[in-house]
Amino acid sequence: MTVRGWAIAGTVMASALLAMTSSAQSSGVAAGASAAARAERVRPPAVRGAAPVVVELFTAQGCGGCVEANAAVERAAAEPGVIALTYGVDYWDYLGWTDTFARPEFSQRQRAYRAALRQRGVSTPQVVIDGRRQVSGARGLELEGAIVEEAGRQVWPPEIEFRETGDRVGVGSGRAPVGGADVVAVTYTPGVQTVEVGRGENRGREVRHVNVVRDVRRLGEWRGRPVLYALPPARGGDAVAVLIQGKTDRRILGAAVRD
């Protein structure tokens, strides 16, 4: 992955430092401190350690065009500030290969995005970023640019805190969207898994997947006030991403991972 495409936090921090240095040279120490304060106010959430960018890939092992998208999302998953999740969908099974990771509810999640994003239909591969926009996963440069743009948005997400016991998560106060939001737990297996496909368009190929989703579960409703939710049990080695997601527009307001 190129530094140009992914230096989200570094680029912003460098710009802020340059602005601070220039101000100090022209106006002295006091002016420099003022410039520093202004830089802090405009610094994007990627630098402040706020909400990460959630990248959701809808893919299928029997889809010939999905291999490249899988690779692009795998590269994105390695970057700080990105939560990448891979959902296997089952509607490609008709080609003769039953996707080993697909579940009907994952296809339903993709269809819910179709309605929220006002698309005519669903397509594979598809990447949805922060629930706000979609790109074709096969277009790596477009995906990189979209992630950089989302990381630069000025957002103020509610705090998400996992309890030390590991069985509960708290969501703090904040501004809820019209219609409220759902708190969703996405259980996935971190890292890369490889599947050898025996039929369909990818017959004989080894297809790589990163952060394969195992389960999606709604924990409850969030309307702007602090709430504590019970987390679903996870098998050893799995991680859980908690998403705060608008009910109507499907936008992700905040996210955090318990690994």
Helix, strand or coil, per DSSP, at residue 159: coil
Question: Are 85 and 57 contacting, i.e. CB atoms less than 8 angstroms apart?
Answer: yes
Interval 13-25: pLDDT, tens:
334 333 434 444 3
pLDDT at 31: 40
Give 49 or 105, the one with higher predicted confidence: 105
Residues in the chain: 259
Contacts of 224 (CB under 8 A, 6+ apart): 158, 173, 174, 175, 176
Tell me how far CA of residue 27 lies from CA of 19, 30, 39, 42, 43, in angstroms.
12, 7, 16, 20, 22
The winner for highest mean pLDDT among 2-6, 70-74, 175-179 is 70-74
80-119 pLDDT, tens digit per residue, is: 999 999 999 999 888 889 999 999 999 999 999 998 998 8
Assign domain 47-258 to its CATH architecture.
3-Layer(aba) Sandwich (3.40)
**pLDDT beyond 80 at 171:** yes
pLDDT classification of 50: cutoffs 50, 70, 90: low
Whether residue 70 contacts residue 36, with contact meaning beta carbons closer than 8 Å, is answered with: no
pTM (two decimals): 0.79
